[in-house]
Structure 1
Amino acid sequence: MTESESVIYRVVPKCACSTIGQILYYSDHGRFFEGDIHDSKEGLHKWAQEVSQEPISRNVLGQRTYAFTCVRNPYTRVLSSFFDKICGIQRNGKRYRGNLVPRLVYDYGIEVGGEDGQQEFDQIKSFRRFLLFVRDTIRFRRPMEPDIHWSAASGHVSTFIVNGGRYNKIIWTEAFNDGMQGVLDAIETPHPVDLAAIPRFNESEGHGPKRAHPVEDYFDDLSMHLIYEIYKRDFDLFKYDFENPANKMPIGEIDLDEVHAKLGD
C-alpha cells in the first residue's frame, strides 16, 4: 500500500510486480526507488514490515481504499519461473533457494544450462520435467511446499479476499498499460504518473538463459494436462485460453463478482 494510502496492491509474483511497486513508489514520492523495489524498507507499506500491518489492515477491512492486483497467463508465468528461478543465477550471485536446483538435477534429471545458466541444453525436455516437480509440490507438497513463484495466481489473489478485502480491479500483465491506466484514473496520487514514460522494471531479466522456442513448443499433451491440473482456476477466473498455449491474451472479461464468490471460501 502507498504511504499516502491512495491504493492497495496485492502482489502476485511473476506478474509485473516490480514495475507496479515502482509505479506506486513514484506516485507517492515523485522518484523511483534505487534498486529492486522488493528490497525497499521505506516508502511503501508492506505486510512484512510490522509498522505497516495496522494501516494495511485498517484499509483492507474498511474497504475504503482502491484495491487491485495483476495476473498473468499460466503458460508464460510458469515458463518465466523456470528460466528465472531454476535456470538463472539470482541477484545475490547464488542459485535460488540454495540446494533446490541441485536436488532437481538429481531427482528429476533437469538441466539448467551449466554453472552460470548460460550453456546450451534441451530447454523443452528440462522444462517438462520441471512441470512434474511443480505438480508434485502443489498436489502432494513433496519434495517441498509450493513456491510462491509457481503456485497458482488464484491462490495469491484469494488470501486478500479471505482476509476481508475486496478488489476494485484485476488487471492482466498482457494488457498492462490499459489496466494500470484504469487504476491510476480511479485514484488520487500525490505525484502524477505518466505511464508512457515509466520504464519496465523486470528484475528477473538476464538471470537465466533466453527462451529458445515459442511458448507452445514447451507444452505437449501431457504438459497441458499437468498445467490444467495445477492452474485450472487461473484459466477459468482470469479468462485465459487453455486450449492454445500460443495465445497469451485473455479471451474474456474478468467477472469480479465471480472471483470474489469463488475465491472467498
Structure 2
Amino acid sequence: MGFPGTWMTESESMVYRVVPKCACSSIGQIMFYSDHGEFFDGDIHDATGRMHKWSMADSQKLIEQNVKSHKSYAFTCVRNPYARILSSFFDKICGIQRNGKRYRGNLVPQLVQKYGIEVGSPEDNFDFDQIKSFRRFLLFARDTIRWRRPMEPDIHWSAMSGHISTFICNGGSYDHIFFTEKFNEGMQVVLDNCETPVKVDLDKVPRFNESEGHGPKRAHKVSEYFDDLSRHLVWEIYKKDFQLFQYDFDDPDNKMPIGEIDLDEVHAKLGT
C-alpha cells in the first residue's frame, strides 16, 4: 500500500500526509518555498518536480525510507467536518474546476439525475436552493462511504481519519497534527521543528485557496444546512473525526476545536 497522499520536501526537511480540503494548497506551497525560496507557479497539486510526492514513481522509495525510519518531522492538518463537507460540495459539485469543466466528468449529471441535486451554473449566477441540494449531496456522500455505490467514495469527502490512518498503518507516525482553523499557529510548530533551507515567515505567506472563485458562495450559516437527518448522516460518516480531532458535533456553527488532539490516542485508534 505504501504512503498514498504523502508529500516530502526535496531537502527531506519535512513529511506531510495530505488531507483534502484541509489547507493542503497552502501547506504544499509553504513546503515548496521552504526549499526553493519561491512559490510554485500554479496549483501545487500540479507540481511534478522540485518536491517529492507518492504519486510520482521516482519519489516513492525515498518517501518510504524516510517515513519508515522516521527520519523527518511528519505532520498533517485537520478541519471541522461540517465545514469540510460543505466546502467539498461547493467546490467539487457546484464549482467549475481549474480545467474549465465539471469535477469528474459525468459525476454532476449523475447526481442531478439520481439524487435530484441542483448546482446552478455561471450563466445563472449559481442560482439554486443550496440547502436542499446540499442535503441531497450528503445522502450521496453517505451512500458512497457506507455502500461504495453509486461509486467509490471520493478523497474530498471521505473521512479525515481514513486518510490519516493509512500513514500510521503502513509504518509511519506523526509528530504533529494541527487545525486548519489555527493554521499559522499549527504550521509554525512544524517550521520550528524543521531545518529548512529557506526561512519561512508565515505572516507573509499568501493564502492559496485554489477552489475559491470557481463556484457559488455559501449563502447561509453552517447550521442552516444541517437538519436532524443531515446531522445524523454527518455523525455516521465522521464520528471518528469529531472524536479524535476534538470538534464540536453539537454546534455546527462552532468551527473551532473544543480540545487538544491526543497524538497517542490517534496512533492507537487509527493504527489498527
Q: Report the TM-score when normalising by structure 1.
A: 0.99
1:19-77 CA deviation, whole Å, 9 max, x = no partner?
00000000000000000000001111000111101110011000121000001000000
What is the CA-CA distance between 1:119 and the residue it aligns to? Answer: 2.5
What is the CA-CA distance between 1:120 and the residue it aligns to? Answer: 1.1
Question: Residue 253 of structure 1: which of 252, 260, 271 is its match?
Answer: 260
Which residue of structure 1 aligns with residue 4 of structure 2? none
Paired residue type of 1:2? T
Q: Is contact 2:122-2:215 (8 Å) kept?
A: no
Cα 1:126–1:102, aligned 2, differ >3 Å: closer, same or farther?
A: same
Question: Residue 70 of structure 1: which of 63, 69, 77 is its match?
Answer: 77
Matches within 5 A, 1:90-129: 90-114=97-121, 118-129=125-136
How far, CA to CA, are the matches of 2:144 and 2:177 in structure 1?
27
What is the CA-CA distance between 1:114 and the residue it aligns to? Answer: 3.1
Paired residue type of 2:257? P
1:125-151 CA deviation, whole Å, 9 max, x = no partner?
000000000000000101000000000
SS at match of 2:186: helix
Which residue of structure 2 aligns with residue 25 of structure 1? 32
What is the CA-CA distance between 1:115 and the residue it aligns to? Answer: 6.0
Matches within 5 A, 1:1-265: 1-114=8-121, 118-265=125-272
How far, CA to CA, are the matches of 1:117 and 1:21 in structure 2?
34
How far, CA to CA, are the matches of 1:132 and 1:101 in structure 2?
14
Paired residue type of 2:255? K
- The runs of at least 4 aligned residues of structure 1 exceeding 4 Å deviation read none
Q: Is contact 1:128-1:219 (8 Å) kept?
A: yes
What is the CA-CA distance between 1:222 and the residue it aligns to? Answer: 0.6
How far, CA to CA, are the matches of 1:159 and 1:117 in structure 2?
42
Q: CA RMSD in A?
A: 0.9
Paired residue type of 1:43? R
Paired residue type of 1:77? R
Cα 1:116–1:164, aligned 2, differ >3 Å: closer, same or farther?
A: farther
Paired residue type of 1:226? L
SS at match of 2:77: strand
How far, CA to CA, are the matches of 2:43 and 2:33 in structure 1?
13
Which residue of structure 1 aligns with residue 5 of structure 2? none
How far, CA to CA, are the matches of 2:52 and 2:266 in structure 1?
25
How far, CA to CA, are the matches of 1:188 and 1:216 in structure 2?
42
Cα 1:117–1:69, aligned 2, differ >3 Å: closer, same or farther?
A: farther
Cα 1:56–1:66, aligned 2, differ >3 Å: closer, same or farther?
A: same
What is the CA-CA distance between 1:207 and the residue it aligns to? Answer: 1.5
Q: Which runs of 5+ in 2 are unaligned?
A: 1-7
How far, CA to CA, are the matches of 1:192 and 1:225 in structure 2?
45
How far, CA to CA, are the matches of 1:141 and 1:240 in structure 2?
26
Q: Which runs of 5+ in 1 are unaligned?
A: none
Q: Report the TM-score when normalising by structure 2.
A: 0.96
Identity of aligned residues (%): 74
